[in-house]
Amino acid sequence: MSYLREVTVGGAFPPFVALQVLFGFVPNVFRAQSLLPRVIEAEAGIACALLLEERDLSRIQKASMSLAISAAHGDAYWVSGYYQLLRSMGVPGDTLDRIVVNDHHADLSARDQALLDFARKLAKRGPWLSGEDIAELRSRRLSDESILEAVIVTALTGFFCTLSKGLGPFPDFIVKPVPPSASTSPQAAGGYVGGTGGPHLRTVELSPENFPPFAFFLEGFGLIPNLFRAQSLRQDVLEAEAEAIRKILHHKDILSRLQKECILLVGSAANLNTYCVAAHCEALRRMGLSAEEADQIALDHHKADLPEADTALLDFTLKLTARPADFGPHDIDKVRRYGFTDEHILEGVVVTAFNTFFNTLQMGLGTTPDVVPRRTFGPDDGHRLAATEGPPEPVQVDPDAGLVARAQSGDLDAFEDLVNRHSRIVYRALVGVVGNFDEAQDAMQETFLKAFQHIGSFQGRSKFSTWLLMIASNTGLQRLRDRKPLESLDDAGTQPEEDFRPRQVRAWTENPEQLYSSAERRGLVERGMLKLPAKYRVVLVLRDLEQLSTEETALALGLGIPAIKSRLCRARLMLREALAPHFAARAERIGL
């Protein structure tokens, strides 16, 4: 369960097998991306290249850095994950607790402590990182290979933390609370550097002729960016990065290349990354935008000439990058209102996270820009961007608007298209209300006849689909009242939601889906849902089957948002009770 819809990928999916080897489990943050398996492949590719082998840094050193960085980001999801991983490697809990709270009395060598301090600074204060910080590591006898590995580990951890903030995966383990002090930014020792002053590390000469990733970069970017040249000591990671660029950025079946470049640009500006801003402005210029238009997107995309939906998507990116602690499901709902599907939103989160990865790499490596920057970002820009408040509530963009307008002018074919498009959701909502398949079919016909009669009065104050669901729920409700006066959507019949107490408290098996075939699972769910009172069932249908937002569900059912939230929770808990005997592991019953 995450903010977005998930589908079953299967345990034999190779990246899951690799992640199982890497972490000892498949973190839910990767399952939360099951709508786009190619992005999981990309992420697992980099993670395995970097983390699996013991080359310059040990696996414990790398996981310890990730734990410290996750704590610095205030990311309880990953703190719990890395904590468990390190415990499984034999690191004492006391040492890990001290790493989480950045206590320098952890039982670590001076070298390991220096690595953690470096990683924290790069993760939280990247623009203040300088050649002096690199020199400090060298003075601890860390080789350039080790330092490069530390930079990439920090970048990858930032990538994964942005994913967890953006996707809201269900915890893999009991969550370890992260004390607020752990995520305090390290002191900005030294002046603002802004990712310049390098390259900090030794490189080896590679050419496009003998190293395919460089040929790929040359073809895609028209040059081999210094950011990649600076990682030439890790050719395996460069290969994985090139593959990730192919899988995350080069596909244009969900978000367009232009949308992705805008995300990268806005994210880079939020991270004060002059190098990456210059690179993405150049990429947009190659796509046909003027230099001034690209600058405007970097500085304030609200003043750029972009479609409203794309502006909302960039607000989403900016918040996830600059204010991740404030990011939540309401931000997902906001972009959904602009017609973005869960696939679009997932890709938006992944591209934003991928941008965190490259921005962090660049700050750590200090590479000089490939093109002359038109603007250099400074610390004052950070204050401005971080303080950016969310935009005003967006105006809804209805994907049905065109068909509705034609139907309102008497075009029957357009209305038929609307019926075809919405018959499934209307039917499901009606099963939710009336709890009977045959009656739902009758009520569906009645709903569309009413919609046709009244379409002239539809003024677009809500989405057409929401308006249709309002008609459907009223139609179903009337049938319910006629048939069974005691059961309705607005009754106060059963006990209040907050009084419900779970009774089935046996732990469930790890992968309950594997116990039954999909048809059997569907049967269990349908039987369980049909036994729920209508007022709970319909909310469950609209929220968890149809994936409507809380606001849309409230509008469709004519109820307040608090009522929807409490009924949804109650409905899930009641259905859980009904399903528990089928999915609980054979274990001792635990008393509440």
Partner 1 sequence: MITCEQFMADFGNYFEGEVAADLRREMESHISHCRTCQVVCDSTSKTVRIVTDSGSFYLRPEAAQPLVARIMGRIRRSLES
Residue 252: is it exposed, middle or buried by C-beta count within 10 angstroms (0-12/13-18/19+)? Answer: exposed
Q: Nearer Cβ to partner 1, position 21 or 449? A: 449
| Distance, CA of 111 to CA of 102 (rounded, Å) | 15
Beta carbon of residue 592, minimum distance to partner 1 (angstroms, whole number): 5
Of 175 and 291, the one with the shorter C-beta distance to partner 1 is: 175
Residues 561 and 540: their CA atoms lie apart, in Å, by 14
Q: Among residues 351 and 575, whose Cβ is nearest to partner 1?
A: 575
Pick the closer one to partner 1 by CB: 76 or 188.
76
CB of 505 to partner 1, least distance (A): 5
Task: With CA atoms as reference, report the closest residue to 379 among 157, 185, 181, 201.
Answer: 185
SS3 505: coil
Q: CA 514, CA 310: separation in Å to the nearest integer?
A: 40
- Give the span between the Cα atoms of 549 and 216, in whole angstroms: 41
In contact, 294 and 265? CB cutoff 8 Å = yes
User: Which CB, 59 or 572, lies closer to partner 1?
Assistant: 572
C-beta closer to partner 1: residue 301 or 537: 537
Smallest distance from partner 1 to CB 106, Å: 21
Residues 6+ apart with CB under 8 A from 366: 129, 130, 131, 134, 193, 195, 196, 197, 198, 199, 200
- Nearest CB to partner 1, comparing residues 101 and 507: 507
Minimal distance, residue 346 CB to partner 1, in Å: 15
Nearer of residues 144 and 497 to partner 1, judged by Cβ: 497
The answer to whether 230 and 237 have CB atoms below 8 angstroms apart is: no
Structure-token pair, residue 269: 């500006």
Which amino acid is located at 510 in the chain? E
The CA distance from 381 to 386, in Å, is 8
| CB 342 to partner 1: min, Å | 11
Closer to partner 1 at the Cβ: 7 or 135?
Answer: 7
Using a 10 angstrom Cβ sphere, with 0-12 exposed, 13-18 middle and 19 or more buried, the burial of residue 60 is middle
State how far the Cα of 464 lies from the Cα of 456, in Å rounded to an integer: 12
Q: How far is the CB of 16 from partner 1 (least distance, A)?
A: 16
Q: How far is the CB of 84 from partner 1 (least distance, A)?
A: 13
> How far is CA 526 from its chain centroid?
30
DSSP 245: I
Q: How far is the CB of 284 from partner 1 (least distance, A)?
A: 34
Q: For 517, phi and psi rounded to 5 degrees?
A: -70, 165
* CB of 260 vs partner 1, minimal distance in Å: 26
